[in-house]
Amino acid sequence: MSFMASSRQTRTTWCSRCGASISAPPGARSVRCALCHTTTRVERRPQHNGGLHQAVGFIKGLLFGSPSQPQPPPPASSGSMRAGDPYRLPASYPRARGKKRALLVGISYSFTKYELKGTVNDVNCMAYLLRQRFGFPGDSILALTQEEKDPYRWPTKENIRLAMRWLVEGCTSGDSLVFHFSGHGVQKLDNNGDEVDGYDEALCPQDFEDRGVILDDEINETIVRPLGAGVKLHAIIDTCHSGTILDLPYLCRISRCVHHLIYS
């Protein structure tokens, strides 16, 4: 029953120009394509000719498409991205090679039952703090949110994986790195026996229902193990089950007895 209710919350339509699939919120009369920014009217009758829409959109794209039009990200792989796997960073990612670098991820999970409020604002506030208080250059901060126009800056599983590679690529002694994530976190059964409690912690990308989560094992391998001596990594993870998301060999025990100061 919950699945049926959820499926009625949004409708799928297709961009009248490029043929991309678009999820329309309830009651919407028109939607804007995130790829080509074309406004498409939402039909009131059920869509039974999706293949025709996509074919027409493809032909229109060939005839009227612009070379500067952003292209969708490559499909994400279901397995973990190993440290030695080849990769290519998107051309739109910052090329800064200074001593300070930050990756900020905020996911709102729009139009789903998991929707969160304030995650994009978290990213904006963190970026402002890093620039104004800690002197991070603007071109050394990479933000992934669902409000970005560049598809390579959407917080999908594949984009987050690539962005974590960007964060640590070429880092040297004295570098200061920041990883901030605001979104959902979950626990998964541990399959390799490296967790005391039997569970891996994981981050939920924007497309986690289709592509899966990012386990703490992969996060550790991607942004912790490559760090050389003298490199500092500050991780601010605003999710559930975030205490061991970096899979560090340290255990912090925090007393549950909290003393409250009451000011009259």
Q: Which residues are catalytic?
A: 184, 240
Contact call for residues 25 and 19 (beta carbons, < 8 A): no
Going by the DSSP 8-state scheme, the letter that residue 153 receives in this structure is: G
CA distances from 186 to 69, 204, 220 (A): 35, 7, 16
For tokens 């640590």, the residue is 168
Going by the DSSP 8-state scheme, the letter that residue 35 receives in this structure is: T
Q: What share of the chain is helix, strand, coil (3-state, %, to 5)?
A: 25, 20, 55
In the chain, the largest separation of any two C-alpha atoms, in whole Å, equals 71
CA distances from 118 to 3, 108, 135, 181, 242 (A): 26, 8, 24, 12, 18
For tokens 């440290």, the residue is 83
Q: Residue 174 has which token pair?
A: 């004295």
Q: In whole angstroms, give the CA distance from residue 161 to residue 108.
A: 18
Residues 6+ away with beta carbon under 8 Å from 112: 6, 9, 209
Alpha helices in the chain (DSSP H): 2-7, 50-64, 119-132, 157-168, 208-211, 216-223
Q: In whole angstroms, give the CA distance from residue 192 to residue 194.
A: 6
